[in-house]
Amino acid sequence: MIYILVALKGELPEHNLDPETYKVWYTGVGKVNAAMFASLASIQSDCESIINYGTAGVLNAELAGKMNIVGKVVQRDMDARPQAALGVTPFEKTGMESEIILNNSSITLSTGDNFVTSTPELESDLVDMEGYAIAKVAKHFSKSVLMLKYGSDMADADAPKTWEENQANGAQEFLKYLRALEAKE
């Protein structure tokens, strides 16, 4: 079974995915909700892998209005300076205390519990509020994780309004991507 974790139903309002292959769970917004649902998915005996699909603010204009495969995730709001560098969880020795590499894509996603309306201090291409937590939990439980983010807004002052207007725009592209994956198998 592939567990698809999406923050909000507005991002994937409708789907007719095969329930024998996929379970779609709406996690709610933020790292805590995402970690909770990723943990619940990971401990299911039928969980083969996790896909995190959702929207993301864009810091690299080339990614706007597109489906993006994330290669690396970082936690932009972990700020324990001077104990550790920005984005690094202090006193942790798991190998996941800073960046988490998912695949060979060059796209970096930074996750934090804030809606980004200006360029964050930690460098990245996309911003969201769930990805890092899902990746960390999946890796902890040795589950493969694929992260697909639709560039919904420019992470600027207009982001809340633009995101609201565009949150569902990537849904069909996401479903098309899944169908293409199925066809390869």
pLDDT for res 185: 74
Residue 156, pLDDT > 80, answer yes
Of 39, 72, 34, 74, nearest in space to 53 by CA:
34
Q: Considering the domain boundaries, does residue 176 fall inside one? A: no
For residue 131, being part of any structural domain is answered with yes
* Residue 71 domain-assigned (yes or no): yes
Asked if residue 33 is part of any domain, the answer here is yes
Structural domain includes residue 99? yes
pLDDT of 183: 87
Which domain CATH number covers 142?
3.40.50.1580
In a domain, 59, yes or no: yes
Residue matched to tokens 């936690």: 75
- Pairing of the two strands 126-128 and 49-58: antiparallel
Stretch among 50-54, 106-110, 126-130, 180-184 having the lowest mean pLDDT: 180-184
Q: Judge whether 185 lies within some domain.
A: no
Whole domain around residue 102: which residue ranges?
A: 2-171
Residue-wise pLDDT for 22-76, tens only, equals 999 999 999 999 999 999 999 999 999 999 999 999 999 999 999 999 999 999 9
**Treating both helix axes as pointing N-terminal to C-terminal, what angle do 131-140 and 31-42 enclose, rounded to 10 degrees?**
30
27 DSSP 8-state letter: -
Helix and strand totals (H; E) in the chain: 4, 9
pTM value is 0.96
- Judge whether residue 184 has pLDDT over 90: no
**SS3 label, residue 62:** helix
CB 101 within 8 A of CB 69: no
* DSSP summary character for residue 64: B
Q: How many domains does the chain have?
A: 1
CA angle 135, 63, 168 (to 5 degrees): 75
In a domain, 155, yes or no: yes
160 upstream amide cis, omega within 30 of 0: no
